[in-house]
Structure 1
Amino acid sequence: MFRAFFLALRDLTDPAVIRVFVKSMIVTLIVFAAVGVGVFASLDRWAGHSLSAVAATVAMVLGGWLLFRVVAIAVLQLFGDEVVAAVEQRTYPAAHGAARGVGLGRSLRMGLGSAARALAANLVMLPVYLALLFTAIGPAIAFFLVNGWLLGRDLGDTVGSRHLDDAAMRGWRAATKGERFVLGLAVTGLFMVPLANLFAPILGAAMATHLFHGSRR
């Protein structure tokens, strides 16, 4: 995992990876802006203009903290193939030559599936988060573990979809549960660090690429 991390840090300097980072950030910000406008428009119908502006701002702040991971990973699924391709071309040229493009349709399905799994899992875990509030750190630990598991699945699929069919993908997931869980925990930790959280999706995709090809060797 340390090898994957340091190799991924190097990949952040790749112009192709930088372009994907810029595109994914623009789309993510547009999504959050749309949420803010939607909240403001809805509240403005029954509350005063000032109250609507305050509520929309609060919603954006809370949404940024709670949902940034969901939106960022879902958006990355749209562009993740470009990140993986850039990393493969640089470090695994033979695998890059044998890979197949994921395509926009499959990328959209993967992105929506990622967002749906993250929202569903965290909604199911919400009573647990609330029950652990008295422990102070309990909800953070539970959130960390649940989202580590989810991210390990999402990031692994971003790479595996270029090389494996569905049956082979299930086999690879089963064989790499522990490694992918550690990967997911590492990237979830990055999401909790200001500024680092902006790079977490791209860094995670690059790490997943190195993990995938390292495990197949």
Structure 2
Amino acid sequence: MIFRAFTLSLQSVSDGKIIALMLKTLAITAGLFILLAVGFWFALGRLLSHWQWDIYGLAAIGAVAFAVLFGWLLWRAIAIAVLWFFSDDIVDAVEARHYPAHVLSAKRPGAVESGKMALRSAGRLIGYNLLAAPLYLLLLITGVGTGIAFLFVNSLLLGRDLQDMLEARHGKGQIAFDRVSRGLLGAVGTAAMLLPLVNLLVPVVATAMAVHLAHLKKPV
């Protein structure tokens, strides 16, 4: 079922509307991430100025380190938060093409509700990963334990986010996600988020996958 949803999602993202939305969410996400890195650069520069060090050089190095070390977490948080504001447009396009009967029962959440859900999603992501940070550090000695733990925690969170997106549209209990399907969806999306360049496309592809996974088992 998860493979079927993946292949259908690749068909869905070939839609012109989806491509336009993908470019829009990518541009906004990248812009916010760059602003965050620049803000960190200026903040670090002001801090270093108290010791009269090479302000701009060290601050630039710090900004690069910030982007490398925290990019894997912050990119996902920002991307999913941005996606909340465009998720209904993406779901509209996928459902209109593949599941037109389900469009009639859909109810788009307002901008305020989408904003609240975006903040909750980002808060869960950052909060749970901070709580798991000691475990990540402890498992470093195993070589692979940290990666497995990170994948497990974030798979659960991403699966929850995608289910919440669809339930906000169709209502709780109306989405045919079982725990295994939701976990696999989250795992595929989270693993792909770790791949350079591929992670730029993951939020939109994962949303399309969630739509297919939800409706493939759901009677029309």
Q: What TM-score range do you get, normalising by the shorter chain?
A: over 0.9
Aligned counterparts of 2:14 and 2:152: Cα–Cα separation in 1: 30
Distance 1:130 1:174 in 2: 36
- The reply on whether 1:108 has 2:110 as its aligned counterpart is no
The 5-angstrom pairing of residues 136-175 of structure 1 reads 136-164=143-171, 169=172, 171=173
Native 8 Å contact 2:155 2:183 kept in 1: yes
Structure 2: unaligned runs, 5 residues or longer: 49-54
Give, in whole Å, the separation in 2 of the partners of 1:198 and 1:123.
24
3-state SS of 1:144 partner:
helix
How far apart, in 1, do the equivalents of 2:56 and 2:202 lie?
36
1:61-210 map, 5 Å: 61-164=68-171, 169=172, 171=173, 176-210=178-212
Taking the aligned partners of 1:195 and 1:52, their CA distance within structure 2 comes to: 26
Q: Which residue of 2 aligns with 1:17?
A: 18
**How far apart, in 2, do the equivalents of 1:79 and 1:210 lie?**
17
SS for the counterpart of 2:217 is helix
Maintained 8 Å contact 1:35/1:60: no
Local SS of the residue matching 1:102 = coil
How far off its partner does 1:173 sit?
7.4
SS at match of 2:170: coil
Query: Residue type of the partner of 1:196?
Result: V
Query: Amino acid of the residue matched to residue 159 of structure 1?
Result: L
Where does residue 39 of structure 1 map in the other structure?
Answer: 40
Q: What is the alpha-carbon distance in structure 2 between the residues aligned to residue 195 and residue 175 of structure 1?
A: 28
Measure how far apart 1:149 and its partner are.
0.5
In structure 1, distance between residues paired with 2:86 and 2:70: 22
Superimposed CA distance per residue, residues 99-127 of structure 1 (whole angstroms, 9 cap, x where no aligned partner): 11122111111111110011111111111
How much is the aligned-residue C-alpha RMSD, in angstroms? 1.6
Q: For the residues of structure 1 that align with 2:17 and 2:117, how far apart are their CA atoms?
A: 22
Question: Which residues of structure 1 form unaligned runs of 5+?
Answer: none
TM-score norm. by structure 1 comes to: 0.92
In the aligned structure 2, how far is the partner of 1:163 from the partner of 1:90?
17
C-alpha separation in 1, matches of 2:177 and 2:67: 39
The one-letter code matched in structure 1 to 2:103 is: H
The 4+ residue runs of structure 1 with deviation greater than 6 A are: none
Q: Report the number of matched residues.
A: 212
Under a length normalisation based on structure 2, what TM-score does the superposition of the two structures give? 0.91
**AA partner of residue 158 (structure 2):** L
| Alpha-carbon distance, 1:215 to partner | 2.9
Q: What letter is aligned with 2:178?
A: T
